[in-house]
Amino acid sequence: DTEVTQTPKHLVMGMTNKKSLKCEQHMGHRAMYWYKQKAKKPPELMFVYSYEKLSINESVPSRFSPECPNSSLLNLHLHALQPEDSALYLCASSQELWGSYNSPLHFGNGTRLTVT
């Protein structure tokens, strides 16, 4: 069983909808990540939180809004998305963001998002 839990597994939303993706980890990790993965492509980093503070934003459009309510939870709020935003959204966690090049990221099962 994966130790990073993502909900929902599938999401279909219209371009005017507001929805949220949720991610939870209980491994005591202090860094949490959002990745976007298009079909047949590698994951691309979107955001990183370290100790509940946004540390990296890879120039992601403002229609994606991350939130880290506490050290175990990570949300991604979605508003006014475009069909090209349809993708697999992966959440991940790791022990630390800095000084930790030797520790892996642990991923959740992802949310398959379709924007109609």
Q: Is 56 in the site for another protein (CB under 8 A)?
A: yes
Q: Regarding beta strands 44-50 and 31-37, do their DSSP bridges make them parallel or antiparallel, or are they unpaired? A: antiparallel
Stretch that binds another protein, among 11-19, 41-49, 59-67, 71-79 (CB under 8 A): 41-49
Please report whether residue 55 would count as binding another protein according to CB under 8 A: yes
Looking at the Cβ atoms of 83 and 104, the one nearer to another protein is 104
By CB under 8 A, residue 106 contacts another protein: yes
Tell me the residue type at 21.
L
* # binding residues, another protein (CB under 8 A): 30
Q: For the residues of 39-92, what is the DSSP string, one character each?
A: TTS--EEEEEEETTEEEEE-S--TTEEEEEEETTEEEEEEES--GGG-EEEEEE
Relative to beta strand 10-13, strand 111-115 is: parallel
Q: Could you say whether residue 22 binds another protein (CB under 8 A)?
A: no
Binding site for another protein (CB under 8 A): 2, 33, 40-43, 45, 48, 50, 55-56, 88, 90, 92, 96-110, 112
